Chains A and B, each alone.
Chain A
């Protein structure tokens, strides 16, 4: 799988860029743009999370909190303190990274899935703080009037402009993730994925790498959160609850763990399906559940990897018949 992706990666990035540029030519509906934008935002979080789940083999149930920290740092700094837009986003990203380091450092030194518990608790604490620190966050009424992002004279104040903004971020962050995975760090991560003991015995500081990838993955979520805050211009604690953490983990698994393009498809398909299933009225949740079951039963490696494997199987069968 990895081999295929590496060979065809550049081609895929080319196609992605083309699709991003071409979509506005064919799509006019604001609704489709907001769906695409939400897909983009989710993809950023999922790509980051997939680095952690797919390569460090650790699960985080607190990514809603990192996503939320990004949103709230951007929101609070720009609304309450008149901070300039982009530096606020950068501060949010660095601060979220620092927080992730504080959680990751002790829990990733331990063997086993202790990060799950730490992030689970952390996510709930942050969600409660969003509601309680009223003088900063606006409490449960939410924080309103967040200004849209701007470069020079260009203000990203509608769905189309935000589409270009968000998807540029997705493109470059995916590119960065790909380059990271193909570097020395990436090889170390791959070694950890293969066998942690083997990697350790060969001199790879596994704990250190795991912490680093966790911090990076939190930063991805934070950037996505900042973009969300400036796009919707209103944030409230209910957007960052435990359900969102679960949702992004599901996207990683459905897309395919350890597959960069799987992240894009996982976020895309699940966001799209949950919208499209509204045709089923109040039964859409059941339909969504059935869809998830089908994917996990028939394509347990995730959609992208699973379908590719099916394709391979078919090819070999044809060869055998011949």
Chain B
């Protein structure tokens, strides 16, 4: 008796699933895949980017879609794990009608996916930070085997470092201390600062590392301070951004603190609290859009997007949001131009020039699959829970 009831229930559920899924969409939508770190250690970045991409797609759909066809995002979660990212990619490639991919979030997952993307020939706009995605050849023995189908929206980390050093040069800062988290992102920063600092006449007199999960950096900061530095650069993301700011206040160090381009985000204030006051960093214009001069051609675009973002999600967008949105908009524009064909979309993305985005003005070319330059980055200062544009 009981078993019969159970069978009935299972059958009803199964049938309702089948009917439901076939009735969901009457018109044929154009499918774009979104692969994000929705769970795992980068979940806070991945979910922000997911929202940004969803918003961009909603906007296109409200304007009537592309030639009457709506856009639909197929979503997958990398769990911040390279193996899972490849699995997610394969799952998405199962449905042949996905025309482009946006994502993933982390550089490690991006690198694991890259080879398969090139093999499957599907245009992919990544929003992960690492320059290595575009710099490393696909085949170690052939330095010319550069990725053809892979693009990325965040500006190069080298340019962000360059911007800081340029600012220091303009403001008479000569001797600096560099403190970084001892993992991929931090080490990339060390490589970059060694190239960029000499270009602008800045000398690195102290260099200290800490472990990503450390909860106190006073020892390293004391050593740096003892060298009599004019400023300190901290290259890390996550809670350490705030810990360093707090430690500097506790130690009474007068040298100004510069942080990385990932710091211009509401998260910064959560981890730093009041100690965040006065910290400077390179950033996209999204967090200081209302302070931009009216002559700035990005201003209107950014303000519109920020308004829509606030209305929909009821929170402030950060830098990570800008990267997700730009990747989505450029891809959608390419689809608008050439229709839902993978190869044509790739070519259209590669020929995007002078596109006014949120992170900057994209001039993508076969040699540069990113397309941003140092001029797209602004220096900002953390004040009173918000940001001030520096000149």
Interface residues of A (CB under 8 A from B): 29-31, 33-35, 38, 79, 131, 134, 139-142, 144-145, 159, 228, 232-236, 238-239, 275, 278, 281-282, 284-285
Given contacts A30-B93, A141-B136, contact A275 B87 (CB under 8 A): yes
Residues on the B chain within 8 Å of A31, using CB: 87, 90-91, 93-94
Which segment, of B106-114, B260-268, B301-309, B355-363, faces chain A? B106-114
Residues on the B chain within 8 Å of A285, using CB: 39
Across the interface, do B81 and A239 meet the contact criterion of CB distance under 8 Å? yes
CB distance from A36 to the nearest CB of B (A): 11
Which secondary structure dominates chain A's binding surface? helix
Residues on the A chain within 8 Å of B130, using CB: 141
**Contact of B82 (CB < 8 Å), options: A30, A34, A159, A236:** A236
CA distance A142 to B187 in the complex (A): 13
Residues on the B chain within 8 Å of A236, using CB: 82, 108, 111-112
Residues on the A chain within 8 Å of B90, using CB: 30-31, 33-34, 159
B279, CB-defined interface residue at 8 Å: no
CA distance A282 to B77 in the complex (A): 9
Across the interface, do B111 and A144 meet the contact criterion of CB distance under 8 Å? yes
CA distance A103 to B93 in the complex (A): 43
30 interchain pairs, CB-CB under 8 A = A30-B90, A31-B90, A33-B90, A34-B87, A38-B83, A79-B140, A140-B183, A142-B82, A142-B111, A144-B114, A144-B136, A144-B140, A145-B138, A145-B140, A159-B90, A232-B83, A232-B86, A234-B112, A235-B82, A236-B82, A236-B108, A236-B111, A236-B112, A238-B108, A239-B82, A282-B38, A282-B47, A282-B77, A284-B39, A285-B39
Interface residue total, chain B, C-beta cutoff 8 A: 33
Across the interface, do A142 and B139 meet the contact criterion of CB distance under 8 Å? no
Across the interface, do A29 and B184 meet the contact criterion of CB distance under 8 Å? no
Chain B stretch 66-96: residues in CB contact (< 8 A) with chain A = 76-77, 80-83, 86-87, 90-91, 93-94
Interface residues of B (CB under 8 A from A): 38-39, 47, 76-77, 80-83, 86-87, 90-91, 93-94, 107-108, 111-112, 114-115, 130, 132, 136-141, 183-185, 187
Q: With contacts A31-B94, A38-B83 known, what are 11 further pairs, Cβ within 8 A?
A: A31-B87, A31-B91, A34-B87, A140-B183, A141-B111, A141-B132, A144-B115, A144-B140, A236-B82, A284-B77, A285-B39
Residues on the A chain within 8 Å of B80, using CB: 238
Across the interface, do A34 and B139 meet the contact criterion of CB distance under 8 Å? no
Residues on the B chain within 8 Å of A235, using CB: 82
CA distance A134 to B82 in the complex (A): 19
Across the interface, do B140 and A282 meet the contact criterion of CB distance under 8 Å? no
**Contact of B187 (CB < 8 Å), options: A139, A275, A282:** A139
